Amino acid sequence: MGKIKTVVGISVPMAALRVIGIRCEKPPEEVAEHFISIGVEAVVFDPDFICGADHAISSYMHAERAFLQGTQRSRGILTETILYASADRQIGRALKKMGPKVGDNAFVVLIIGELDDLALSDIDAERDDSLVDCTEESARNMGLYKSSIPYTDLILERIASVDIMKY
């Protein structure tokens, strides 16, 4: 934790957040369980819908704020993070959109908590942070269109708009 941030006038410790890309033959549930087993929480995303590391990090930060303010739509912060990442107001659609699909072997993982050793060899995973990069395909999948504003900025606006759509 370490860092302190102020949300709505309340100072709270900020969770350590890290976004990585991995290639692995394990199903996404096992990938998430791996990170839980080594002491952190994790959200596993389909890389075809992630527009940079800030996309995942901002989604978590918005979810955290929603829980602090009592405006969340889901029961857990990880699900709320997926809701924000999807830029959708429906939890079911968000989970379907952002979650890895059957047979996928590439994942973007948001790691929540302090962790020095990812122990990726335990799940026969190979790190590939290029999966986190915003691509034309991931931008298109997120409904973003070419403009003078970079996709990585547009996705942050879409995440922020979820607060408006929730009501």
pLDDT tens-digit series, residues 114-132: 988 999 999 999 999 999 9
Distance CA 73, CA 89 (A): 9
Q: pLDDT confidence of 89, banded at 50, 70, 90?
A: confident
pLDDT attached to residue 53? 97
Q: Reply yes or no on whether the pLDDT at 149 is more than 70.
A: yes
Distance CA 68, CA 118 (A): 29
Q: Reply yes or no on whether the pLDDT at 141 is more than 60.
A: yes
Q: Reply yes or no on whether the pLDDT at 12 is more than 80.
A: no
pLDDT, mean of residues 32-51: 97
Least confident of 6-15, 47-56, 107-116: 6-15
The CATH architecture assigned to 4-165 reads: 2-Layer Sandwich (3.30)
Q: pLDDT confidence of 164, banded at 50, 70, 90?
A: confident
The amino acid sitting at 97 is K
Helix (H) or strand (E) holding 71: none
Distance CA 66, CA 51 (A): 22
Q: Are 143 and 157 in contact (CB under 8 A)?
A: no
Q: Reply yes or no on whether the pLDDT at 8 is more than 60.
A: no
Q: Reply yes or no on whether the pLDDT at 11 is more than 70.
A: no
